[in-house]
Amino acid sequence: MRNVQDRALDIAKMIDHSLLHPALTDQELKEGCEIAAMYHAASACVKPCDVRQAKLYLEGSDVVVCGVVGFPHGNSTIEIKALETEQVIRDGAVEVDMVVNIGKVLSEDWDYIHREIQTIVEIVKEHGAILKVIFENDLLPDDRFKIRLCEICSACQVDYVKTSTGYNYVKGPEGCYSYQGATEHDLLLMRRHSAPEVQIKAAGGVGNLDAILRVRELGVTRVGTKGTRAIVEEARRRFDHPY
């Protein structure tokens, strides 16, 4: 049996440590990168303005920088998303999480969506980086939108499809805002309709070890969460003393 540290590291290397809150301060960015490095996360996922500083904080660690593009609403033009992609890569990101244009998806302007994703894929691949495309499933009321996105992402050869940003809440009929994030239904749907080489990233509702273990069984290989410290500490305890 593999030792506790190796098994905990497997979990850590599924995590993109999320540092994306709009009110995140410079000090919180530094502390967040230190946590990502200490617990050997796969990446620190940061806003475009923070990529350069995050790269400095993570220097010498095994954690890479992931920069977001068109975050969180996906409304920028293709040209601006392309420029933002170039910027975050130039500043040190080797992974890019790009929010698809949600309004164009709901309008079923699939030519636009294909052109947008293909444009960003070409930039990312030119620089040897990887691309995760965020669908924002909470805003897509019908599975057919998600299925078509999986098909387009597969055709464009993206590296990951991702459920959510964590920052777009849906107003219900009673006037309250809610957010589901990565549901089992959506993860199974995305795995089923994506090419085998396209990986799945879950974000939203995966803030503890049990949730990560559950989505891993569904085919998820990366998750976005702020809870890295607690998750990895729990993995070390649990794998050392299995229930």
Radius of gyration of the chain from Cα atoms? Answer: 17
Residue 19 φ then ψ, to 5°: -130, 65
As annotated, the active-site residues are 97, 162, 201
Is residue 232 within 8 A of residue 13, CB to CB? The reply is no
How far apart CA 132 and CA 187 sit, in angstroms, is: 15
Instruction: Give the Cβ contact number of residue 126 at 10 Å.
Output: 10
Is residue 187 within 8 A of residue 200, CB to CB? The reply is yes
How far apart CA 94 and CA 90 sit, in angstroms, is: 9
